[in-house]
Chains A and B, each alone.
Chain A
Amino acid sequence: MSTVSIERLRKVYGPFVAVDDLTLTIPSGTVFGLIGPNGAGKTTTFKCMLDLARPTAGTVRYDGVPLQPQAFETIAYVPERSVLYDWMTVAEHIEMQRRTYKAFSPARALELLEEFQIDPKKRARSLSKGMRTATMVALAFAREASLLILDEPTSGLDPINQRSVLNLMINEAARGTTIVFSSHQIGQVERAAERIAIIDRGRIVLEGEVDDLKAGRKIIEGIFPDESWSLDGLDSDRRVARIDRNGRIVRLLSTDAAGDLAARMESLGAVAVRIVDLNLEDIFLYAVSPANETAVVVEETRS
């Protein structure tokens, strides 16, 4: 079981910078969620982690050591798109895995395929997109991997199968497996992940424990008597990540001590001050959306 350390990862494809100066540590045994808009660099990050792509700069280390081919005995990967061989049956894919990895249980694979209602005798080309994803998930979870890297593992699946995948992940997490996954379903990330990182345009914009982020990040909303009221001092407060002004309504995005900040707002003259809890989706949207015209982004802090 190893800790994955990504240091200042940079990957460019010609003129396009997919990932830039990305630093991340994934502690062993954690469930780590990676969220971000399409094209943010999640898949590129996974590819660099697995030596599927060569970083332009930066390093990826497993317990301090670069990835060795032998490590793949205990690393399982579910890519974002189907990589199955169209002309082979699902059963032949199972046989392929059985011969490749020491720790692979064909019985478990068949069990999982049955749960997903996939017939092993079918050729991959006759499977729908969701069923292909489910097949790759089954093949990955039938291995005794200590690190699972899952890129959109529920895409194309119906809600029942999505829940099955989530349960598989939780089962693995209970066994101490390290899981790194990306998903557009923030609800799934909220349930399964302990730590998350938000990626946007190739950079990490926010990282931390889900509970800490939820506990610390709040919106403090207040209404000032008129538009020119000063925010004296608030914009330089370390605990304020962002200020959005919309006429007389001011909203602060706090990273901590929401109560204090609310009190300060009141002392500056705001009324109807309230503290709004943010769920992960809100936190994510704030992290990746540009500030509106009248807003001041004071700093993007990282917990």
Chain B
Amino acid sequence: MITYIDKIGRLLTSNIQYLIRVLLMIYLSIRATILDQHQGLRTIFGVVSAQIYFTGWQAMPLISVLALASGSITILQSSAELSLLGGSEMIGNLLVVIMVREIGPLLTALVVVGRSGSAVATEVGNMRANREIEALESIGINPLSFIVFPRIIGGVISVICLCFYFVVIALIGGFFLTRIIDEMPLNFYLDSLIQALTREDFFLFLIKTGFSGTIIFSISCYQGLEVKRSHHEVPQVTTKAVVDSIIVVTLFNMSVTVLFYLEQLMMLESV
């Protein structure tokens, strides 16, 4: 029993330590960027735009396919089931809850973890092994402001934009794809969607995508910097970055949803 408690204790402590270290890295990278008088906006913008290009722009074909598939399937299933129940006008509410609040942010984050989180962890890990990080320090460039900060910012912007693109393609593209089978009128569908969208949806969307981007790119940079000296550590940290990002992003999305619905329930009870 005591051994079991010990194990849980160790697991908790190591996870808390891990979280604190990642948060510390984020803080130090922001601090370094503010204090670094030499690093102009142009330097930061260069890395941020490159990150947006690789993470956002290059992921669009994959996101398009996923969005079209998941959008059309959800629309088709929802309209069929709601027609049976006589609640076709609720399709907008259902799709907004599923796509905007849940599937969109989560699926986009998972795609970004697989494509870009792994790439960033590998890139930073290789930089560490090739002594590029040391080289930057030796010429007076802080790697936290030069490498970490722009990647996190670029990653956050990319995840938000990519998720917005996902939602639009899933809801609009998915609808046109389902018209081959289903004969739902476009006006009816759009009206239902617009009426269903609320401020809470935008709030949840931004919270989920913004924090998912921060989580993915912070963990990936942190794991990359964890490489000590050897190239053989790079695949290990990459795997760890991907696994940790998936776990944390999923838990985060789940927690936000649970907290949101708990609050809704409490509000309903008070009424």
Q: Do A and B bind each other?
A: no
